[in-house]
Structure 1
Amino acid sequence: MTDPHETARVLNGLVQTCKDGEEGFRTCAKAVLSPPLQQMLEARAEECAAAAEKLQGMVMELGDVPEEHTSTGGDMHRRWINFKALITGQNEKAILDECERGEDAAMHNYEKALDEALPPAVREVVQMQYAGVIRNHGQMRALKDSGRI
């Protein structure tokens, strides 16, 4: 993919993914009772925000307009998290299930982006961010499966 507009399109899709992650982690942080878990989820939200900002800068460098919003699917998922928190009484395992599900979607989106013929510098950033998504996913699963929650 040598067309800068196509590269920007792929990056903008990942910007939405990152913004969905940011808002999703913030929603989950508000839905749990444990202060350490809230802090950890807020930290993940900040990482997602930083990732989105990095991608937005890359889109601007390509001469395109960066995405600023979350996706409709992400909005629906956050509403589901709020509903699930309400009906489960803020069950932290159930909330972490939703965090993990959100990271499943993010992994899929990053994998799709990495299937594209991205310029080497762009691919390097996308691969680094993808590694972070994999880490987040593993952390959510480990917390959920640890039995400490």
Structure 2
Amino acid sequence: MKFTEKISNKLNELLTKNYDAEAGYKLASDHTENGTLKDYFNRKAKERYDFGHHIKNEIKAYGETPDKGTSLAGDAHRAWMNIKSTVTSNSEEALLKETIRGENNAIEEYKTILNEPHLPPTTEAILKNQLSTIESTLKEVKAFEIMA
């Protein structure tokens, strides 16, 4: 397997995770009545949509094809979030806990790819920027959780 194909495969995995996160944030927005959280979740969904476009462009720059759609694991996670928020008395707290779990997973996935040797500078810059944003998001969501 050539290097660009290997990196593109890893970026495609990350792209799928961003599709999952975007769909998860949209679901979270749909399951809260709190206007502040609804707006926040919608902004984060748009942010992950934008992340996906940056990653897609990077994959295309390697001459490879970006994946389309969410993962089965992400679909299952959203179904679980949907059920949990329906039966939990404090659905906002449940949504925030799941968001924290998802962001922690995203941080680990980004770090794994960033540890790849010989990562092209453009790819590294995109992923480091996105990782930094996700780390900030994690802090923000933890602050929301404290207030919930």
> Does the 8 Å CA contact 1:32/1:90 hold for their aligned counterparts?
no
TM-score, normalised with respect to structure 1: 0.93
Q: How far, CA to CA, are the matches of 2:74 and 2:139 in structure 1? A: 20
Q: Report the counterpart of residue 64 of structure 2 in structure 1.
A: 64
Q: Secondary structure at the match of 2:67?
A: coil
- Tell which has more relative contact order, 1 or 2 (C-alpha 8 A, sep 6+): 1
Q: Report the counterpart of residue 115 of structure 1 in structure 2.
A: 115
Gaps of 5+ in 2: none
Q: How many residues align?
A: 146
With over 3 angstroms needed to count, the CA separation of the structure-2 counterparts of 1:90 and 1:79, relative to structure 1, is: farther
Q: Report the counterpart of residue 140 of structure 1 in structure 2.
A: 141
The CA RMSD over aligned residues, in Å, is 1.3
* Bigger mean CA offset, 43-52 vs 114-123: 114-123
**Equivalent residues in 2 for 1:1-149, closer than 5 Å:** 3-89=3-89, 91-117=91-117, 118-145=119-146, 147=147, 149=148
Gaps of 5+ in 1: none
Deviation at 1:136, TM superposition (A): 1.1
Letter in 2 for 1:126: L
Moved over 4 A (4+): none
TM-score, normalised with respect to structure 2: 0.94
- Deviations along 1:3-30, one digit per CA (max 9) or x if unpaired, are 1111111111110111111011111111
